Amino acid sequence: MRQSAAAQQQALWQIDAAASTLSVHVFRAGRAAKLGHNHVLNAPKLMGKLRLPQGEPELAAAGFELALRLDELQLDAPAARAALGAAWASTLAPEMVAATRANMLGESGLQAGAFPLLRLRSLRLAGALPKLATLVEIELHGRRQQQWLALHATMESATVHARGAMVLRQSDFGLTPFSVAGGLLSVQDELLIEFDLLARPQQEPER
């Protein structure tokens, strides 16, 4: 079957998982917030692809998809906490990290067992390199929401580098932020997600 002209003029790039990072920041809340901790989750393996028109980039024809498994997120790695400064400076015991992970990703949190994937898909790109705005569709917990986010992106012959940040409200996806003791200790509804992505041209399979 012959490809369409549009498909033939597009190049497919693959996210380099080893060279890309994505972090989710969770903030303490509640009347006794000082007794709690801020947390950071890191995605060890990102999956995604980028579609670019051949030749000079045309934003209208470009697009990307990104996905990660919530059940693979690494919680409160000591090096990740240390890099974030004073608000994450406390050292957490392994048993505390394990309990927090169970609460955050379990039935009372993100329910990663039933809804393991977080997906993003671009719907529209605007702006000019390196400053872009993109409308994305976010799929989480079986629900989809759209929102705009800002990107700083650069292109070279063998790489595309993009970084940015966005805020997700758990309640927008039917989730209740974790809390105990009637809200004495809880986490904020807002999750701050920061990402730094590197994509490389996808190698064509041998025929």
What are the tens digits of pLDDT across the range 26-45? Answer: 999 988 888 889 999 999 99
**Residue 2 — very low, low, confident or very high, per pLDDT cuts 50/70/90?**
very low
pLDDT of residue 11: 85
Separation CA 41–CA 24 (nearest Å)? 5
What are the tens digits of pLDDT across the range 21-31? Answer: 999 999 999 88
* Residue 189 pLDDT greater than 70, yes or no: yes
* Residue 59 pLDDT greater than 90, yes or no: no
* Residue 8 pLDDT greater than 70, yes or no: no
Task: Indicate the pairing of strand 47-53 with strand 179-180.
Answer: unpaired
Mean pLDDT of 161-177: 94
* Residue 161 pLDDT greater than 70, yes or no: yes
Higher-pLDDT residue of 59 and 100 is 100
What are the tens digits of pLDDT across the range 92-133? Answer: 999 999 999 998 898 888 899 999 999 999 999 999 999 999
* Residue 183 pLDDT greater than 90, yes or no: no
Higher-pLDDT residue of 162 and 11 is 162
pLDDT of residue 69: 96
* Residue 15 pLDDT greater than 90, yes or no: yes
Distances (CA, A) of 160 to 50, 67, 198, 200: 9, 17, 6, 7
* Residue 4 pLDDT greater than 70, yes or no: no
* Number of neighbours of residue 197 by Cβ within 10 angstroms: 23
Task: Find out whether the peptide bond into 57 is cis, omega within 30 degrees of 0.
Answer: no
